[in-house]
Amino acid sequence: MRGEASDREFVAPIVGEPAAVSRLDVARRLTGEFGQPIELRQWWIGALEALDDDRVREIILSVVRQTGKSQLLSTMAISELLTKPGSYTVLMSASSDQATAIFLRKIKRPLERLLKELGMPKGYARFTLRGVEIPSLGSVLELLAANESTAPGRTPTLLLVDEARDVRDETFAALVPSVVGAGGKIVVASSAGAPKGFFYELATNPTEETWLYRSSENDNPHSDKRVLSWLKRRLAVLAPSAARRELDNEFTEGGDDFLPAALIEAAIDDSLVEVQASDAQAFGAADLSRKRDFTTVLVVARMPPRRPEAADHLVVLSIATWDPRQSPTRETDFAEVRAHVAELPQRFRKLQRLLVDEGAEAGSLLPFARAQATLTMIVEGYVGSLVNNAAIWGALAARLHARTLSIPRHERLIAELRSLRQETIGGNPSKWRVVDSTRRLHRDVSLALAVACFAAGDASPEACGAVAGEVQDAEMAPIGRRLSVLGASAARMWPH
For residue 226, name the pLDDT band (cuts at 50, 70, 90): confident
CATH topology (fold) of 261-465: Nucleotidyltransferase; domain 5 (3.30.420)
What is the rounded distance in angstroms from the CA atom of residue 346 to the CA atom of residue 133?
Answer: 79
pLDDT at 175: 85
For residues 216 and 201, what is the distance between their CA atoms, to the nearest angstrom? 18
Angstrom distance (rounded) from CA 36 to CA 113: 11
pLDDT at 264 over 60: yes
Average pLDDT, the chain: 82
Long-range contacts at 359-367 (CB < 8 A, ≥ 24 apart): 359/288, 359/384, 360/290, 361/288, 361/289, 361/290, 361/295, 361/332, 361/334, 362/288, 364/288, 364/290, 364/334, 364/337, 364/338, 365/286, 365/288, 365/334, 365/337, 365/338, 365/341
What's the mean pLDDT in 255-266? Answer: 79
- pLDDT computed for residue 359 by the predictor: 82
Name the amino acid, one letter, at 257.
Answer: D
What's the topology of domain 7-214? Rossmann fold (3.40.50)
Cβ-Cβ contacts under 8 Å for 364 (sequence gap 6 or more): 288, 290, 334, 337, 338
Query: What was the pLDDT predicted at 255?
Result: 58
pLDDT value of residue 446 = 94
490 pLDDT more than 60: no
| DSSP per-residue codes, 56-94 | -SEEEEE--TTSSHHHHHHHHHHHHHHHSTT-EEEEEES
Evaluate if residue 464 carries a pLDDT over 60.
Answer: no
Which residues, at least 6 apart from 451, have a Cβ–Cβ distance to it below 8 Å? 285, 287, 298, 355, 357, 382, 392
- Closest of 421, 299, 401 to residue 349, by C-alpha: 299
Query: Is residue 110's pLDDT more than 90?
Result: yes
Task: Identify the helix (H) or strand (E) that includes residue 197.
Answer: helix 197-204
The torsion angles phi and psi of 267, rounded to 5 degrees, stand at -85, -15
Tell me which amino acid residue 107 is.
Answer: I
Same fold, 7-214 and 261-465: no
pLDDT of the residue at 256: 61
Q: Average of pLDDT values for 400-410?
A: 93
Beta strands in 222-328 (DSSP E): 281-287, 295-303, 313-322
pLDDT in the model for residue 316: 97
pLDDT at 259: 83
Which residues sit opposite 59 in a β-bridge? 187, 211
pLDDT tens-place string over residues 406-457: 999 999 999 889 888 877 777 666 677 787 766 666 788 999 999 999 999 9
Q: Using a pLDDT cut of 90, give the percent of the chain over it.
A: 51
State the pLDDT confidence band at 380, using cuts at 50, 70 and 90: very high
Residue 35 pLDDT: 84
**What is the model's pLDDT at position 26?**
92
Domain definitions of the chain by residue range: 7-214, 261-465
Residue with the bigger pLDDT between 336 and 65: it is 336
- Give bridge partners of residue 62 from the DSSP assignment: 190, 214
> What is the spatial distance between Cα 142 and Cα 99, in angstroms, rounded to a whole number?
10
